[in-house]
Amino acid sequence: MANELATKRQQLKREIALGYQLFAELGWGDLGDGHISGRDPADQNSLWLLDANTPFKHASVTKLVRLNSEGEVIEGEGATNWPAFYIHYPILAKRPDLNSVAHTHTPFGTPFAAEARKFEAITQESCIFIDDHDVFDDDEVQVQDTDCGFRIAESLGRNRGLILRNHGLLSVGKTPRESVVWFIMMERVAEAHLKSRNPQPISHNAALYAKADLATDGQVDHAFTNLVAHHLT
């Protein structure tokens, strides 16, 4: 059992580190404005994040820290990213079905979030989020405590994605690779919304049909593998 947990923890940490590196390669998080978390497989009430002082492109398994329910570092060497803890811990506490949250500020997600509206089914990728995302319609963009984080978790509900008004995008998943893939998809959907001048909507039934085919573990694994191969090797 101990070996199995150690293997799961190493896999979790590797995916978190790769997620940060992918964000860096895509040009995101250069100001340290973002975070990817993973719930520890042995201690479900703790989570892993990148050390607050490590740039995304330098993310590695050894640069991750494990935080307890108070945000204190209990494993690894480094500092707590407090805004990340304030957002991620409440979401994972409210959603035991999830193990990862991803968020950063992006060229299209952040301006789209300023419009405080939901995605429409106007592209293939956008179908993934039909009936599966919402808007956190709150102007507390500087998250400074878990009270705000729990309000974010309430707005997220059972969805896979959330648009933080005037702030940016947030995604969740059963694994770090899943939250990262959904986040990248959300950014592409936001880009399509901001660039499309007269989009023709996909019907709700057709969107749900596409979603059933696209939102699978197999598609996530395929997308994550391709992203890593394209950007990091």
Average confidence (pLDDT) over 20-38: 96
- 2 has pLDDT over 80: no
pLDDT at 62: 97
pLDDT tens-digit series, residues 58-113: 999 999 999 999 999 999 999 999 999 999 999 999 999 999 999 999 999 999 99
Closest alpha carbon to 26 in 96, 136, 108: 108
Joined tokens for residue 136: 């956190």
Joined tokens for residue 226: 């391709």
pLDDT tens-digit series, residues 160-195: 999 999 999 999 999 999 999 999 999 999 999 999
pLDDT at 1: 67
- Helical packing angle, 176-195 and 2-25, nearest 10°: 20
Closest alpha carbon to 184 in 132, 125, 135: 125
- 35 has pLDDT over 70: yes
- 201 has pLDDT over 90: yes
For the chain, how many helices (H) and strands (E)? Answer: 7, 9
- Average pLDDT of the chain to the nearest whole number: 97
- 3 has pLDDT over 90: no
**0.75 cut: is pTM over it?**
yes
